[in-house]
Amino acid sequence: PEQQKNVINRIFHYEPVFNNEKEFCSITEFLQSFLTVKPELVKSCAADFFNSVAQGHVPDIPKIISTCASFEPRILFEIFICGIIESQEKLKSSAAGSEVSFMILKLLRTSLNNVEIFNQNPSACLEELARNLMHINYMNDGILKKLA
């Protein structure tokens, strides 16, 4: 962390002490501060998406797309996926939950690849992801609702 702060100060000439600005702990956090949509908002949308699916509801994908600026630049979609990963961490507390968590992580990797590599529309990807998560939830007796 200290090395990354030094890089931010030396390379980007960012001195938060002099400007009364936020001090960043990592280079990634510093660079993400320039995004059009704040990463915290994207992760909040991801948590809402996952909780909606866990409760058995279809998430409001157009609202998510609108809030996250159509995931442009694409790094916003990666942040969204990371937000879902953080939201499903509680599943690892049980054996059945760990198995479901593994299935979810495979789905998330596939979704990320579909958008980043195969240029799938994020909206279509989220619809497919919601359907697949609901299927996993159904096949495992609603474990997402119980543990999430």
Are residues 28 and 50 located together in one domain of the fold?
no
Are residues 114 and 132 located together in one domain of the fold?
yes
Count of domains for the chain:
2
Are residues 30 and 62 located together in one domain of the fold?
no
**Cβ atoms within 10 Å of 144's Cβ, excluding its own:** 26
**Cβ atoms within 10 Å of 84's Cβ, excluding its own:** 22
State which amino acid sits at residue 121.
N
Sign of CA dihedral 59, 41, 110, 104: negative
Write out the residue range of the structural domain in which residue 64 sits.
40-147
Are residues 26 and 49 located together in one domain of the fold?
no
pLDDT digits (tens, 9 = 90+) for 50-100: 999 999 999 999 999 999 999 999 999 999 999 999 999 999 999 999 999
Are residues 117 and 95 located together in one domain of the fold?
yes
Are residues 27 and 45 located together in one domain of the fold?
no
Share of the chain above pLDDT 70, in %: 99
Place of tokens 């195969």: 118
